[in-house]
Amino acid sequence: PHDLNCLTIKELEKHAELRMDKQTRDYYNEGADSGSTLLENSTAYGKYRIRPRVLRDISLIDTSVSVFGKKNVVPIGVAPTAMQCLAHPDGELATARACKEAEVAMGMSSFSTSTLEDVAKAIGDHSHVLQLYLFEEREHSKKLIKRAKKADYKAVFLTVDTPMLGRRNLEIRNQFKLPKPYKIANFVADSDSAASETAMEGASSSAPNAAENEQKNSASTQGYHDGKQRRGPTGPVTVHTHAPNPTLCWERDIGWLKEQCAPEMEVWVKGIATAEDAHLAVHHRVDGIVVSNHGGRQLNGALATLDALPEIVEAAKGKIPVHIDGGIRHGTDVFKALALGADFVWVGRPVLWGLAYKGQEGVELCLRLLSDEFKLCMGLAGTVKVNDITKDYLVKIDKSGF
Ligand code: FNR
């Protein structure tokens, strides 16, 4: 049964646009600075063409893979994105229910508008991983890790592309603010009641004061470079104050995080963009890599993730799994990423568009469109198992196409 109003992710984006207010639309859709990396994440897929094989009896296609010890019906998961209640009042709970229904893994953002426990309950025994920003002030992160273990999260995805917050101009101009009654749910209990009032005001209460925060940030970064004692962020936990952590480093933090997470949860790094860092990830014994540039929201001008993928696969493949996100809008994109060596892909904005379109049903539609397209692509390319998809099925051409 098709939704005749919505047969593609492009159409889903259009429907969502009509349903979101300007602040939400801008917050979800924009990239950093000029947005060129955001654009190239998608257009990079157009540089490859598929070399289909024929006469292969493709009557039985198996699109499934195993991730985090569970069967996933397709090699596609829902990337962690913050504050999903902006898209739909059911927010992350709707996404979790859709993931359960679709048998697809869910990445849960630390900065969600539902608690990690409620999301875990909604997704049941299906795979869920917690995206983590390791705060300078460790206590909040420690508590979160403990709670995630208890709620049966299979892994933490440490986001490593955010030592500083990327510059998103629409977000600044709109003075982005999380509307009442929504809260950054995971941290409300950590703040005293006065502070949590402020947290409710917004991910950021701090966004309206972006300039002030920037000043604070650069002042403290200055202190860091001077070798003076840094003071981490204080007060209510918000994206703008706590997510960026300029002190994060391989030597000190990865080992610490692995200790905290062991033995129940794996530690992955999300935001790897070079072979050098893939080597370091292997060296520091992380359990997996997500090739990501935060959907073009952090360093604009960085390589599209698909363009960064081959060198990372070469550096890591065989030792640890390599996942990718950014710009995936078609089943054929999934096929191409796998052909270039990714083991699995994660999808961010299209899920938010589904959520804005019809809540849980919209997320299910989004996942169904991508899954159906992927299966069709596998069959028409002459592959019946995900493992069959290799670089022999791709050719790179000069001209971009759609
Ligand atoms: C994100 N992303 C993100 N990543 C993360 O590690 N923690 C987070 O809280 C968020 N929040 C977030 C909010 C919004 C609105 C977007 C669009 C993205 C990045 C996300 O996990 C993923 O890397 C990208 O979204 C993938 O790119 P596409 O699929 O959106 O093109």
* Nearest protein Cα to ligand 1, atom 18: 81
Asked if residue 222 has pLDDT above 60, the reply is no
* Catalytic center residues: 294
Asked if residue 215 has pLDDT above 60, the reply is no
**Average pLDDT of the chain, as a whole number:** 90
Q: What torsion do the CA atoms of 348, 282, 45, 9 make, to the nearest 10 degrees?
A: -20
Position 400 scores a pLDDT of 66
Q: Which atom of ligand 1 is the closest one to the Cα of 107?
A: 21
DSSP class of residue 62 equals B
Position 236 scores a pLDDT of 81
Asked if residue 219 has pLDDT above 90, the reply is no
CA distances from 277 to 282, 302, 352 (A): 9, 14, 30
Asked if residue 132 has pLDDT above 60, the reply is yes
Q: Which of 99, 62, 160 is nearest to 355 (CA)?
A: 99
| More confident site: 300 or 231 | 300
- The distance between the two most distant Cα atoms of the chain, rounded to a whole number of Å, is 68
d(CA 267, CA 130): 10
User: Tell me, what amino acid is at 54?
Assistant: V
Position 101 scores a pLDDT of 97
Position 44 scores a pLDDT of 97
d(CA 291, CA 29): 20
* Least trusted range by pLDDT, from 221-230, 283-292, 379-388: 221-230
Residues 99/122, Cβ–Cβ less than 8 Å: no
Q: Which of 178, 185, 187, 200 is nearest to 93 (CA)?
A: 185
Q: For a pocket test of ligand 1, which of 297, 328, 344, 351 has the largest count of ligand atoms closer than 8 A to its C-beta?
A: 297
Position 208 scores a pLDDT of 37
Q: Which atom of ligand 1 is the closest one to the Cα of 295?
A: 27
Position 88 scores a pLDDT of 98
In the reported structure, the alpha carbon of residue 57 is separated from the centroid of ligand 1 by a whole-number distance in angstroms of 39
In the reported structure, the alpha carbon of residue 84 is separated from the centroid of ligand 1 by a whole-number distance in angstroms of 11
Percent of the chain with pLDDT over 90: 82
* Least trusted range by pLDDT, from 169-173, 176-180, 280-284, 348-352: 176-180
Residues 326/346, Cβ–Cβ less than 8 Å: no
Position 228 scores a pLDDT of 57
Does the CB atom of residue 334 touch ligand 1 within 6 A?
no
Percent of the chain with pLDDT over 70: 89
Range 173-199 burial, b when 16+ CB lie within 10 A, else e: ebebebeeebbbbbbbebbeeebbeeb
* Nearest protein Cα to ligand 1, atom 9: 82
Q: For a pocket test of ligand 1, which of 28, 81, 325 has the largest count of ligand atoms closer than 8 A to its C-beta?
A: 81
User: What is the per-residue DSSP string for 142-201?
Assistant: HHHHHHHHHTT--EEEEE-S-SS----HHHHHTT--PPTT---GGGGGGS-HHHHHHHHH
Position 238 scores a pLDDT of 82
Please, which residues have CB within 8 angstroms of residue 320's CB and are 6 or more apart in sequence? Answer: 281, 282, 286, 287, 288, 289
Q: Which of 141, 61, 135, 129 is nearest to 96 (CA)?
A: 129
Mean pLDDT, rounded, for 89-93: 98
pLDDT in tens, 278-320: 999 999 999 999 999 999 999 999 999 999 999 999 999 789 9
In the reported structure, the alpha carbon of residue 81 is separated from the centroid of ligand 1 by a whole-number distance in angstroms of 5
Position 339 scores a pLDDT of 98
Mean pLDDT, rounded, for 19-38: 98
The β-bridge relationship of strands 344-347 and 394-396 is unpaired
d(CA 366, CA 190): 35
Strands (E), 196-248: none
| More confident site: 190 or 213 | 190
Does the CB atom of residue 37 touch ligand 1 within 6 A?
no
Find residue 65's DSSP bridge partners. Answer: 72
Residues 400/49, Cβ–Cβ less than 8 Å: no
Asked if residue 151 has pLDDT above 60, the reply is yes
* End-to-end Cα spacing for the chain: 26
* Residue 51 known to bind ligand: no
Mean pLDDT, rounded, for 137-152: 94
> CB 377: neighbour CB atoms within 10 A?
22
Mean pLDDT, rounded, for 50-77: 98
Reported confidence tier of residue 193, pLDDT bands at 50, 70, 90: very low
Position 197 scores a pLDDT of 36
In the reported structure, the alpha carbon of residue 80 is separated from the centroid of ligand 1 by a whole-number distance in angstroms of 6
